[in-house]
Structure 1
């Protein structure tokens, strides 16, 4: 559970820092205000996909002990790899836009792989959650009934 806490905290810090980077990098390079760059989206992606999602997973872990599933570590590492790859390519692509350089199909392909990792991570999360729900139901059925007076 502490891994989830520290990961969520890390994404919160990175999300806030990416917003600062976006503002200062575009200002330093005289990028026209209001023009689109993916740098502006990194802030919300890190805060939502990293910080908020992992806080929700932390709450679900507390309720359903999903980490007892053998799939939970897979979820944790695959999902985090997806967030890092996706947000990293957004920073890369957005920085190129601000600098007036062309992006490439390679960047789009890497970003696509990040999204695939996110999708696999979400499927693994639901499988781990299912494991926790079923284990909780089985424990309730196996528990002795309270004594009647």
Structure 2
């Protein structure tokens, strides 16, 4: 009889221990999933922050590259073409083609990771770059007009 009681108690203890181990494993899994979700959210926030910094740096670099490119083209080519247009020796379309030349040069000079983030973030990056070119050209013309 004692062995039967002892056997029943052992089975009950084993069942209780297995239940406690299962419960502990369930809680561990639950907290592990919660911790994983929290870490994923933190990583996402960091990546968003990095993406914002990268976009800001890319736009600054675009500004710098486009300013230098427009200044160079204006100094080297545009003044000569304007004079030739005034003298009737060149077509005005040649001046308009300079914007495409500037665009191509900016695309070639701009770092690939900056170009990629600009294209992904702005939607129509081509128009944005052409508008930046025009903006710099207007600034140059305004400084030429001022005494």
**TM band (smaller chain):** under 0.3
- The structure with more radius of gyration: 2
Q: Which has the higher helix share?
A: 2
